[in-house]
Amino acid sequence: MRVEIVDVGPRDGLQNEEKTLPPEIRAGLCDRLAAAGVPRVEAASFVNPKRVPQMAGAEEVIAGLNRREGTSYAGLVLNEKGYERAVAAGVDEVRYAFPLTDEFARRNQNTTVEEAAALAGRLAGRAREDGVRFSVTLSVAFGCPFEGEVRPERVLEVAGQVAGASPDEVVLADTIGVGVPTQVRALVQELSEIAPEETAVGCHFHDTRNTGIANAVAAVESGATVLDASVGGTGGCPFAPRATGNIATEDLVYTLHGMGYETGIDLDALIEVAGWLSEQLGKELPGRVHKAGAFAPVSG
Amino acid sequence: MRVEIVDVGPRDGLQNEEKTLPPEIRAGLCDRLAAAGVPRVEAASFVNPKRVPQMAGAEEVIAGLNRREGTSYAGLVLNEKGYERAVAAGVDEVRYAFPLTDEFARRNQNTTVEEAAALAGRLAGRAREDGVRFSVTLSVAFGCPFEGEVRPERVLEVAGQVAGASPDEVVLADTIGVGVPTQVRALVQELSEIAPEETAVGCHFHDTRNTGIANAVAAVESGATVLDASVGGTGGCPFAPRATGNIATEDLVYTLHGMGYETGIDLDALIEVAGWLSEQLGKELPGRVHKAGAFAPVSG
Distance, CA of A238 to CA of A17 (rounded, Å): 9
CA-CA distance, B27 to B249, in Å (whole number)?
Answer: 18
Asked whether the beta carbons of residue A292 and residue B244 sit closer than 8 angstroms, the reply is yes
Is 80 exceeded by the pLDDT of residue A99?
A: yes
User: What pLDDT score does B298 carry?
Assistant: 59
Do residue B260 and residue A182 have CB atoms under 8 angstroms apart? yes
pLDDT of residue A300: 43
Residues of B in contact with A292 (CB under 8 A): 177, 208-209, 242, 244
Which DSSP symbol is given to A10?
Answer: I
* Distance from the first to the final alpha carbon of chain B: 37
Q: Is A242 on the interface with B (CB under 8 A)?
A: yes
* Mean pLDDT of all residues in A95-107: 96
What is the Rg, in whole angstroms, of the alpha carbon atoms belonging to chain B? 18
Q: Is A131 on the interface with B (CB under 8 A)?
A: no
Here the CATH number for the domain that contains residue B151 is 3.20.20.70
Give the C-alpha separation, A253 to A269, whole Å.
Answer: 12
Residue window 212-241, chain A: list those with CB within 8 Å of chain B: 212-214, 216-218, 241
pLDDT digits (tens, 9 = 90+) for B119-150: 999 999 999 999 999 999 999 999 999 999 99
pLDDT of A299 over the 80 cut:
no
Out of A11-15, A99-103, A292-296, B130-134, which region has the weakest mean confidence (pLDDT)?
A: A292-296
Q: Which residues of B touch A287 (CB under 8 A)?
A: 210
**Residue B300 domain-assigned (yes or no):** no
- Cβ–Cβ below 8 Å for B211 and A251: yes
- pLDDT at res. B300: 43
Among this protein's residues, is B203 annotated catalytic?
no
Q: Which of A208, A248, A293 sits opposite B292 (nearest CB)?
A: A208
Considering only alpha carbons, which residue of chain A is nearest residue B247?
A210
Provide the percentage of residues in chain A whose pLDDT is more than 70: 96
DSSP B1-66: -B-EEEE-IIIIIHHT-SSPPPHHHHHHHHHHHHHTT-SEEEEEE-S-TTT-GGG--HHHHHHT--
| Residue pLDDT, tens place only, B28-57 | 999 999 999 999 999 999 999 998 888 999
Size of chain A, expressed as the number of residues it contains: 300
3-state secondary structure of A204: strand
What confidence tens digit (pLDDT) does each residue in A184-234 have?
A: 999 999 999 999 999 999 999 999 999 999 999 999 999 999 999 999 999
Backbone φ and ψ for A265, nearest 5 degrees, come out as: -100, 140
- Alpha-carbon distance A142 to B142, whole Å? 32
Domain that holds residue A245: 4-292
Count of domains in chain B? Answer: 1
| Cβ contact A292–B255 (<8 Å) | no
In this model, does residue A156 exceed pLDDT 70?
Answer: yes
Asked if the structure places residue A299 within a domain, the reply is no
Q: Using CA atoms, how far apart are residues A244 and A205, in angstroms rounded to an integer?
A: 10
CB B224 within 8 A of CB B195: no
Does residue A150 have a pLDDT over 80? Answer: yes
Interface probe for A, chosen from B140, B211, B289 (most Cβ of A below 10 Å), is: B211
Q: For residue B18, what pLDDT is reported? A: 83
Decide if B297 is inside a domain: no
Of B210, B247, B251, the CB nearest to A248: B210
Contacts of A176 in chain B (CB under 8 A): 295
Query: What does the mean pLDDT of chain A come to?
Result: 94
Show residues of chain B in contact with A212, CB under 8 Å. 210
Contact A145 B298 (CB under 8 A): yes
Q: With respect to residue A67, please indicate whether it lies within any of the assigned structural domains.
A: yes
Residue A298 lies in a domain: no
For B241, which residue in chain A has the nearest alpha carbon? Answer: A298
Instruction: Report helix angle A249-258 to B181-194, nearest 10.
Output: 40
Residues 159..198 of A with a Cβ closer than 8 Å to B: which? 176-183
Alpha helices in A195-239 (DSSP H): 212-221
Q: Which phi and psi (to 5°) does residue A170 adopt?
A: -120, 130
Of A182, A244, A298, the CB nearest to B146: A298
The span from the CA of B79 to the CA of A234, in Å, is: 44
Q: Which residue has the higher pLDDT, A237 or A290?
A: A290
* Interior/surface letters B55-72, b for 16+ CB within 10 angstroms, e for the rest: bbbbbebbebbeebeebb
Helices (H), A46-112: 58-64, 80-89, 102-109
The answer to whether residue A70 sits within a structural domain is: yes
Radius of gyration (Cα) for chain A, nearest Å?
18
What pLDDT does A239 receive?
Answer: 56
Q: Look at strands B200-205 and A93-99 and give their pairing.
A: unpaired
What pLDDT score was predicted for residue B66? 98
> Is the CB of residue A102 less than 8 Å away from at least one CB of chain B?
no
What string of pLDDT tens digits covers the 300 residues of chain B? 999 999 999 998 898 888 899 999 999 999 999 999 999 999 999 999 998 888 999 999 999 999 999 999 999 999 999 999 999 999 999 999 999 999 999 998 999 999 999 999 999 999 999 999 999 999 999 999 999 999 999 999 999 999 999 999 999 999 999 999 999 999 999 999 999 999 999 999 999 999 999 999 999 999 999 999 999 999 755 555 555 799 999 999 999 999 999 999 999 999 999 999 999 999 889 899 999 888 766 554
Query: Closest partner residue to A217 among B214, B247, B255, by Cβ?
Result: B214
Residue count of chain B, please give it: 300
Q: Residue B217's closest chain A neighbor by CA?
A: A214
Which one of A210, A288, A295 would you mutate to disrupt binding with B, by most B Cβ within 10 Å of its Cβ? A210
pLDDT tens-digit series, residues A160-189 = 999 999 999 999 999 999 999 999 999 999
| Distance (Å) from the alpha carbon of A217 to chain B's nearest alpha carbon | 7
Specify the pLDDT at position A165. 97
Tell me the pLDDT tens digit for each residue of A56-76: 999 999 999 999 999 999 999
Q: Is B24 domain-assigned?
A: yes
Nearest CA to A112 out of A98, A91, A92, A126 is that of: A98
Q: Partners of B5 in the beta sheet? A: B227
Query: Which of B146, B209, B297 faces A288 most closely, judged by CB atoms?
Result: B209
Distance, in Å, from the CA atom of A237 to the CA atom of A245, rounded to the nearest integer, reads: 8
A241 pLDDT above the threshold of 80: no
**Residue at B298 is within a domain:** no
| Nearest CA-CA partner of B33 in B249, B183, B184 | B249
